[in-house]
Amino acid sequence: MKRILVTGGAGFIGSAFVRYMLNTYPELEVVNYDCLTYAGNLDNLAAVENDPRYSFVKGDIGDAEAVSAALAGVDTVVNFAAETHNDRSVSDPGVFVRTNVLGTHVLLEAARHAGVSRFHHISTDEVYGDLALDEQRAFKEEDVYRPRSPYSASKAASDHLVRAYHHTFGLPVTLSHCCNNYGPHQFPEKLVPLFAVNALQDKPLPLFKSSRNTREFIHADDHSAAVDAILRRGRIGEAYNIGTGTEKSVEEITDAILTALGKPETLKTYVPDRPGLDRRYLIDSTKIRTELGWAPKVNFEQGMRETILWYRDNPTWWKRVQSGAYREGRTEKARVRA
């Protein structure tokens, strides 16, 4: 890799990957391509915005002309760009289809014509469906897709397109399915930042009634390292599950947040379940561990506590998000690539 295009690089996981790659590879150039929807926050990239190897291009992956221009000189594409919030997919499924399916198609076409040496697509464990709380198995890469929400269905559709472009056109692709990410800079609509920020303001923490449902958790830095391993050593045309085996219920995560911040359990409130709420996600990450030698490094208890305290210690960041101030002049604050 000499120059890499990261789509969705201003989002939570995408920005973590941009920072990781620039910190890991001194010779690498990173182009961040992001249309800066509500979850795109260039504040996440303050640590690298003045790095001469980093540049930012404001654009939509559904804009064929803009994507083609951004691909000039790029040899590797990593597609993080996606609508990801399940609750939003229930209220407005069309946005998820437009970005996650049609946008991915535009990006694939542009990458094919540009002749990139690798197209890596970021997927999710949710394409596999869900498991019963007492089921004694984990999802494997060859499992049949059974998405249960508009979000996971749109990601499943984009996965199929990526594979089709490999088999039909020979585009050199890889895919990854990751479990729930946590870490600093996560937009406060997701569980950990939402509950941490609410607790810091003594506001209620709205747990779904099915609060014993579990999710598998990984730190965004471990996710970044896994994607890097796939880019370096992964087999073309293959998919890799990225997981830790660490399962926690919403109730357990909430308790951890309250404990770390010294807040009372009376902040817990219970709300009706979201339509189609999945019970449990767990993926088998044997393939990436044995083939590529990757393993998570961040201890969950320590990583989660440090993440919660990051929100406590960085009120300026989340207050700018809450007020909308992070949107002001955000193209101008980046060094935009010509």
Active site residue 142: no
From the list 125, 130, 141, 159, the catalytic residue is 125
Active site residue 247: no
Determine the Cα–Cα distance for residues 178 and 241; give it in Å rounded to an integer. Answer: 6
Give the ranges where the chain is alpha helix by DSSP (H): 12-24, 64-70, 86-91, 93-96, 104-114, 150-169, 191-200, 220-233, 250-261, 286-292, 300-313, 315-323
Determine the Cα–Cα distance for residues 75 and 61; give it in Å rounded to an integer. Answer: 17
Mention every residue, 6+ apart, whose C-beta is less than 8 A from residue 84.
Answer: 39, 124, 151
From the list 126, 141, 221, 247, the catalytic residue is 126
Q: Which DSSP symbol is given to 29?
A: E
Determine the Cα–Cα distance for residues 253 and 177; give it in Å rounded to an integer. Answer: 22
Pairing of strands 214-219, 173-178: unpaired
From the list 20, 33, 128, 151, the catalytic residue is 151
Determine the Cα–Cα distance for residues 83 and 158; give it in Å rounded to an integer. Answer: 12
Rg (Cα) of the chain, in Å, rounded?
19
Pairing of strands 214-219, 180-182: parallel
Determine the Cα–Cα distance for residues 281 and 247; give it in Å rounded to an integer. Answer: 8
Active site residue 238: no
| Positions marked catalytic | 125-126, 151
